[in-house]
Amino acid sequence: MSKVENIDPKTGPNGSAEFPTPYLGRTVRMVSEFQNVDMNQSPHPKNQRGELGKPLFNWYHNTVSKDPLTRVSAPNHFADRRHFLSTVVNQAAKGNVNPKKVPVGDPAAMARHIKAVAHYMGADIVRVAKAHPSFLYASGGGRYVQDGTAKDEYSAYTPEQLARQFPYIVVATTAWDYNKLQAHRHLIGDAAYHISQIKGNMILKALEGYIKELGYTALRGVAIPQAAGIASGVGELGRNGLVISKDYGARVHMPDPIMTDLPLEADAPLDIGVDDFCKVCRKCANTCPTNSIPVGDKVVHNGIEKYKINWLTCYKLRPYVHDHWGSCLTCAAVCPYTKPKTWWHNVATSALHYCPFVLRPVLVKFLKWIDDEFWGLVRNARVTWLGYDSGVKPGEHACTVAGCNASHEKAGAKAVAGNVGYYAPLKENTNRFVKREP
C-alpha cells in the first residue's frame, strides 16, 4: 500500500484525539504530514521584499494605473494610497471586546443570526468552519492583514492554542458581477473583481466589530481563507486552484475570515461534483495564458492531495499587462460552474449533488456538452459599461481626458469587428475565438 493509503482517515498524520484530521470534501484530502503555511512565504509578502524579481517588485510598488477606477479599487496602483478604501479599513485601530457578554444558549440559532447579519451587510455566502490547527498560518510569522498590522495578546499563540481557544471560523464572501466578469482581461473585469474585494473587506470589518460588541473575540489574519472556505462548505477546490461555490461558481472572493470564541454551529463541506467535473473538463487549463494550471492529475503538496497550480507563473504575468488590465481571471470566467444565479444553474448543481457517484461521469459529460454548445471555450460577449468597451483593443482608447483610460465609444473609439470581446493573444495555442473539441 502507498503511504497515502496507510493513513488512518480519522486521526491521520495531522490528527489527534483533540483535533482529528478534518474532512474537506472530495476535492481535497489531507494525506500526509502538513506544515502550517508561513504567511511571509505567500506571494504578496515575498513580492514586497523583492524576492520575485524586479518587474514584479516595480509593478507592486512603483506603478500608478492609467485608469482612475483601478486607482481607487486595486491595491497599490493609486496615486494617493488614502483613496484606496481597504488601506483605510485595514489600518484602522482595533476595537476592544465588549466586557458585557451576550449569553449564547443555542449555538445553531447564533450561527443563523450571524449569517443573517452578514448577508444584510452585503455578503453573498456565509458559512462557519470548525477550527483546526491546519487551517491556520504558522505561529510566529505574524498575521496576514494586507497593508495593516494586527498585534494582540494572541499573536504568539500556536495554531493548536488558537484552535482550542477560538473554535470557529466565520467565512463571508462576496461574488463578482457575472456580466462584468465576461470582460475579464479588461478594466471592466478588473472593476468587478476589485470592487467586490473592497466590499468584502468592509463586510468582514463590520462583522468583526459586531462579534466584539456581542462580547466575544474576533481575530483576523490567522486563518487561511481557502482552507476555511472548503471546510465550511463555501465551495470545493477546482483544478484552477479556486474555491468553486454552488451559486456563483468560481466568481467569489475569499477574504480574510474571522476566528472567534462566539459559540456557533459549524457547517460541513459541500459536494457539487467539482471533483468529478474537473477530471474531464480542463477548460481552465486549456485557456490559462501562462499554462499555470495542470492538465494532469492531483498531486500531494505539503500533505494535501489536490490540483496544484503554479502561482508564480500566474503572478508573473501582471507587470507585462499592467498598461491594459490588472487581473487575468480567465480561469474563473471560463469555469462551467461560473454562471448567473438562475434556476437552470441551480438545477445543474443540484443534479450533480444528488447524482450517485457511479453515474456522475455520464452527467458531467452531458453538462460539459451543454456548456460547450452555449458558451464555448471562452465566452465572446462584448461588454460595455460606464463608457468602457471590451470590444475595443486595449490601448486604442479615444478619451481625450488626461489620465482616463475608458474607451467612451461615442467619442470614436475603434471597436473590434462584430459583437465580440477583445483579448490580447497571450499564447498561440489559446485560440480563444475558435471553438475547440474538449
Residues that bind ligand SF4 in the complex, under the rule CB under 6 A: 238-240, 277-278, 281-284, 288-290, 292-293, 309, 314, 317, 328-331, 334-337
Question: In this complex, which beta carbon is closest to ligand SF4, that of residue 226 or of residue 240?
Answer: 240
**What's the Cα-to-Cα distance from 340 to each of 178, 189, 196, 197, rounded to whole Å?**
6, 15, 16, 19
CA distance 176 to 198: 11
Question: In this complex, which beta carbon is closest to ligand SF4, that of residue 163 or of residue 195?
Answer: 195
Question: In this complex, which beta carbon is closest to ligand SF4, that of residue 174 or of residue 330?
Answer: 330
Q: Least Å distance between CB 226 and ligand SF4?
A: 14
Question: If DSSP codes are grouped into helix, strand and coil, which group holds residue 385?
Answer: strand
Q: Least Å distance between CB 284 and ligand SF4?
A: 3
Smallest CA-to-CA distance from 204 within 80, 118, 262, 327 is with 118
Helix axes 343-354, 360-375, angle to 10 degrees: 160
**What's the Cα-to-Cα distance from 307 to each of 317, 333, 416, rounded to whole Å?**
21, 18, 36
Q: Exposed e or buried b for every residue in 244-283, given b needs 16+ CB within 10 A?
A: bbbbbbbbbbbbbbbbbbbbbebbebbbbbbbbbbeebbb
Q: Which grid coordinates belong to 66?
A: 492609467
Question: In this complex, which beta carbon is closest to ligand SF4, that of residue 84 or of residue 375?
Answer: 375
Question: In this complex, which beta carbon is closest to ligand SF4, that of residue 30 or of residue 284?
Answer: 284
Question: In this complex, which beta carbon is closest to ligand SF4, that of residue 293 or of residue 413?
Answer: 293
Smallest CA-to-CA distance from 5 within 345, 300, 326 is with 300
